[in-house]
Chains A and B, each alone.
Chain A
Amino acid sequence: MKHVPPAWIRVTAFVVSVGTMGWLHLVAFPDTVVVLTYALPLLLCLSLRDRPLLAAMSGSFLAMTWYKSFYLLPPATGGWGHLAMQAANIAIVTAAVYRAFDLADRVDAERARLEMANGDLAAHEEELGQQNEELQQQTEELQQQAEELRQQAEELHRQAEERDALNFELTGREDLLRSLLDALPERVDERVLLERICTTLLTMTGGSSGVSAAVMERQGDDLVVRALVGASRHSQRLRFQASFSSIVMREKRAAAIHDLAERPDLDVPELHGARVRAALAAPLCWGNEPRGAVALYSATPRTWTADDFRVIEWVATKCSLVMELRRLHERLSSSNADLERLVHERTAALSATVEDLEHFSYTITHDMRAPLRAMTGFARMLIDDQGDLSDARRQDFLLRIATAAGRMDRLILDALDYSRAIRSELPLERVDTHRLLIGMIGSYPELESSRRHIHLADALPWVCANEAGLTQCFSNLLSNAIKFVDPARPLRVVIRAETRGKIARIWFEDDGIGVPPEMTGRLFGLFQRASRTYDGTGLGLALVKKVAERMGGRVGFESEPGVGSRFWLEFPRAEP
């Protein structure tokens, strides 16, 4: 920065310098050349660096020199020579000083510029310092954030690990659920299903060696191992009451024993010939009852974790559900099979009944047309008679018409009995055959004349049949026994019984005409008549067979023509 001295200094310096030099050159030594030149006061200007002062002093000094050279000094020393020398001196010094001023100004300017640059630098430095400070703060913040991020990353990593563990467990659960769902239908063997459950349980609990999984079910006093995975040899049956599973079944929750050495009282499985050392079990329930248990066994003492508990409880719940569903499914299938069987049986019975009825209606039509044809034919012949028929012939025709009408009536009644026997309900009950036969023999009008010829054994059994049905059968057999007899021989009917295991057979033996061998296979058929000598419709034995079979019984006979017949009825025995 350019230095400018105050005005009073400049004026003082000018006055003093010009006064001093004037006094010296013009007053004190007017006629001599003074040694002390004007250069000195000019040099003074260097300190003041005042160009106007320098110019003023130089001018003053040139004026004083001019005045001294031509007016004070002798021409010998003065004059142009002196002026020139002094003027040159003043000019050189002034020029030098001026030059020094320039240099000083330049130095000042440079200094000022440097100072300015320094100031800028300082400002910049300050700014940099601030920025540096800010950066430092930011760095600290970044470090803090980095720390937070690191912590978050650690948290995420931990969560990822947890998620992986959960995923693993979920995958296990999903696999098991899929297996269980696949196994719901009965096509998957139950043992295979239970082994899958054991495998999943082992996997989900870490699958360490020396650990086996088992599913057990209570059967009476025993606990039977239904499936086992993780051990090739294992007890197959335990005492239920002494088993660890009985405890979890009773408590209806999972339980564990870390070292079975502390519970020697428990009956635990042996793995590879050695008693297991640790167990974790959960109950299996279906039908609202504990039925068994799923268990993990360890060959060495083991501390079961909360995860182990959670997994086995989950597996037990799902296993119980599937077992219950399978039981229900089995029951449903069984019911369906029963229903189908029942429908099949009913359909078969219905078809048989329809077939019977068709056969019956066909044969009865056939047999009823004979008396009808007779009645119509003889009646028409009588109507058309123009006196050609004798009285005896007319009488014969009328008798034949009456006989045919009677036969028609019997056919209708027997047909009604038969059709009722086909259709009516015959609920089974305990029947005292002895009491029934005594009652029948004593009260039936058609047996009245033959009553004393019928011999009843002392004891006849109780059977499982229907009393009304039995009455029908007995009645028909007794009627036949007293009807198909040789008039030349005395009537004799014997009723007796024999038991064959759970079956009672009641015999009706007569000394009648017997059954021709040709009739053996068809005697119980509809409208089958072995003889036209005896009145009958051919429905009696068919009715006996039908009714007996509908009551779960059987009928048969043994016969020798001309000697007699032995008809029998068989029914399951009943307690009196």
Chain B
Amino acid sequence: MLFNSLLFLVFFTGVFCLHRLPLSWTFRKANLLVASYLFYAAWNPPFVLLLWWSTVVDWFVAKRLYSMSDAGRRRALLLVTLCSNLGLLGYFKYGGFLLQNFTVLMHALGIAYQPPAANIVLPVGISFYTFQSLSYTLDVYFRRSKPADSFLDFALYVGFFPQLVAGPIVRSRDFLPQCERPKPVTARELGIGASLLAFGLFEKVVLADWLLSPSADAVFNQVSAAGSMDAWMGTLAFSGQIFFDFSGYSMCAIGAAMCLGFHLPRNFHSPYASLGFSDFWRRWHISLSTWLRDYLYIPLGGNRGGETSAGINVMITMLIGGLWHGASWRFVVWGGLHGSYLVAERVFRQRRGLEAPAGASVARVVGALATFVVVTVTWTFFRAHTFGDAVTIIRSLVVPRASTILGAGSVWTIGIVTVLTLAGQWFLRDKDFEAELERVPWWAGSILLAGAILAIMVAPGDDRAFIYFQF
């Protein structure tokens, strides 16, 4: 079920009304849980079983882990949850990829191996809810938190529909306390939540799908014909599209949850106004980058073993982070490039004492623009269909070629959206979006909301799925 569909509007209205009834807190949480499973079953009903499996395994494992003291047995039990969650992810998401690479390896060794056709359907959101469920068990294992007291609360934590299929990846210590007792939803929360839902849909439907996606698709679907202007505009269009698509989803998720009285963590904070790459990863898909930091980078040793070790840990984390996005070497390369940027930035900063410039200096603006350009060019590996396509686009970015794909209208649209995006993110760089929303005069807020809703209404009618659903 897509946020940008009438079905979701009807579904959410029903869930919201039931949630507002003066019934017991347990009943209202059960309503949210049933709604969450219904939401997930809208894609493929049998896959609800995978969600249950992940929930049940982590519920029992965490309970046992908490009561055990023997380190060996605790490690063995942790292995169970790792195998369960990563096994699900490995089979459904990487099964075909592994088989394909194994076949290539066999052929390289001169062995004619022909695997059976692997028609594995990827359950939507599996990367998100397995990581979320896993983080709970890991927190209990590391004694950072206690297991949940109520199975209903834990099941709702894993399956809560606003963030189930594309995050934010919520930590149990942030969510479970919210389940303990009912908290009335204030008019302020309702107002901000509904506004976030509307602005999130505006980002997705109007900016990502209507204004940017057609140009990005046109260029990346015919890369050999792309001239330099096409390549730059197509890459900029995708850079904007993926931000508005994913940020729009996250905003909708946070807004929908807020309308139901739950607070989810922020997932984006003006990433295209970042000063450097470590700053970028503190602002882009924050819930994933902090997950990778806490459960991968730090357990690997973090920066405790010196510069070389820290660099290796960064690279491992970013390569795995890249692979998390999709079962393709293109995503690994994308992650590897970001890893190398981060390592290079660390080296420069530490050896030459280079720090991000302070104040509103020209150097800061130049630094932010440089970061944006490198991040945008790197998206090419994320969006292109093949390595060859990515290389062709990058060559067109560098070597001047006549453009034939995008017309003046598309170029102007992408240019204007990009400039406004960068200016808006620069303005909000050190600010909180929700706080800024409340600083706007109420009537101006009404005009902005009405404009967003009307634009959504006249936007082209295809209900496109969110890009991150495939991950």
Q: Do chains A and B stick together as partners?
A: no
Residues on A facing B (Cβ under 8 Å): none
Residues on B facing A (Cβ under 8 Å): none
